Amino acid sequence: MKPVIVLRHAEHVPIGSLEHVFADAGVPWRYVDLFAEATDGLPLDGAAGLVVLGGPMNVDDVGPFPFLLPELDWIRRAVEVGLPTLGICLGAQLLAKALGKRVYRNPVKEIGWYDVEILPAARDDRLFAGRGPVETVFQWHGDTFDLPDGAVRLARGRSCPNQAFRCGPSAYGVQFHAEMTPRLMEQWLEEPAFSAEVASLDYIDPAAIRAQLPERLAAMDSFSRCLLGRFAAWCEAG
């Protein structure tokens, strides 16, 4: 069957638990490492779906990261042709920008475990149906965005309102990291640039994030498996 294309912006921001979800669903996938390879275009006609991962850059950092400009065109095209599309963190911000909306600094950086409210609009949604009213998620971001025209907001956070949205029948953006695993969380906390960011924020305690891992990851596991599993099944069915 056709593979899911996974756009990766940095080597230390991989697919995480999605690897196991895709394997369980029998869905092949492949990275397009935008940071390492020149790509003239994406073979969207030969793809079962598109995942746009997170990354340490801002959507407007096109000087040091020139791949961001063509990437916006690829995301826009995926939406136009109705390809199942999931944007995670930076990926959600890129989806919003590709559809003409502003991405900007959130009042606070969210790093660690947070609760988000699943909204009534998600009740009959393909990916979110039956979830809520509150779900635990892992966050690592400093930016937020305006919702694209016609988008449906599916989840809301206290310090960052736009946590999940759907555009049309096939494109989703989630601000949180549903793909988080214990190993990936530890890698990010130890990665020099990321750890320096945490150290600069007096309200973020990495020891507390680690201590909360067993309880909070267990709380997130059912939600993330449902969300990502439904996305994988959708790609497999196509």
Active site residues: 89, 177, 179
**Distance between CA atoms of residues 152 and 134, nearest Å:** 18
CB 153 within 8 A of CB 147: yes
Please report the sign of the dihedral spanned by the C-alpha atoms of residue 51, residue 165, residue 96, residue 142: negative
Task: Kindly provide the residue ranges of all beta strands, DSSP E only, lying in 119-133, ordered along the sequence.
Answer: none
Both tokens of 98, joined, read 């590709």
d(CA 162, CA 134): 15
DSSP of 46-65: G-SEEEE---SS-TT-TTT-
Largest CA distance in the chain: 48
Output the CA angle 93-95-99, nearest 5 degrees.
Answer: 115
- Give the DSSP per-residue string, 4-55: EEEEESSTTS--TTHHHHHHHHT--EEEEETTTS--S---GGG-SEEEE---
